[in-house]
Homo-oligomer: A and B are copies of this chain.
Amino acid sequence: MSLTNKDKLYSVIQQAVIDELQTKQLTLKNNETQFVPVSISARHVHLEKKHADILFGFNHRFEKFKDISQPGQYSCVEQVTLIGSKNEIEKVRVVAPLRKQTQVEISMTDARKLGVSPPVRHSGDLKDSAPIKIVGPKGSVDLKEGCIVADRHIHMSPKDALAFNVSNHQKVKIEINGQKGGIMYNVTIRISDRYALDMHIDTDDANAFGVSGKEKLKLLK
């Protein structure tokens, strides 16, 4: 059995166990599993091969700037400029590795400045999302769709899901303390054995709620 198939089988069994425990309404009791670490996603771009070739040249090798919280993903030294109907924003990092479809993730503050109207979406859900222009050192791309404001979401492994007693795509709430505290609604749970436990919010949510990225936030259901 190949490693990939073994991983898939493991994942299927794990999900079956989670489903069964949830059906029986069994929960692992653990006070620690109320809290989730959080990362703040600055505006960034995921590129498909065709667009990477246009923007940076054929088969360009992207250089790691730094690792981000999800295993295997990293922000790159390479940057692009985003252009909307009103304005442009320079120095927007590419996040590697390449993806199946180019995706531009910005905050609503960025969107207003640029003059684009991105919907709030899950990563990868790009149908009828906003158009935007991307400029790189070797060329530019007029993206017909692909610009979104990423929804608030929490990455976690199936084991984490078991501990938190949540299911894939479930919406939860997250409570933030402090002077600019409050509760975020509509936080999407995303479960995969490739994921490390981490909540992702954009810079607007971080600035509005006074989140620095060092906190552990309380998960409410």
Contact = CB atoms under 8 A, between A and B. Distances in A.
A90 to B, nearest CB: 13
Contacts of A120: 179-180, 210
Interface string A180-211: 11111110000000000000000111011110
Contact of A181 (B109, B186, B207): B186
Interface of A is mostly: mixed
A207 B204 CA distance: 6
A185 B177 CA distance: 9
A179 B183 contact: no
A173 B180 CA distance: 11
Given A120-B210, A210-B120, A109 B204 contact: yes
A132 to B, nearest CB: 18
Contact of A107 (B179, B205, B207): B207
A218 to B, nearest CB: 13
Contact of A208 (B112, B151, B181, B204): B204
A52 interface: no
A203 B151 contact: no
A108 B207 contact: yes
A149 B186 CA distance: 26
Contacts of A108: 207-208, 210
A179 B118 CA distance: 13
A108 B204 CA distance: 9
A65 to B, nearest CB: 19
Nearest to A151: B179
Contacts of A208: 108, 204-205, 207-209
A152 B210 CA distance: 13
Contacts of A203: 109
A59 to B, nearest CB: 36
Contact of A182 (B109, B185, B207): B185
Contacts of A182: 173, 182-186
Interface of A: 107-109, 112, 120, 151-152, 173, 179-186, 203-205, 207-210
Q: Across chains A and B, which 10 residue pairs bring their CB atoms closest together, nearest first?
A: A208-B208, A108-B207, A183-B183, A204-B208, A181-B185, A204-B207, A182-B185, A182-B184, A120-B179, A205-B208
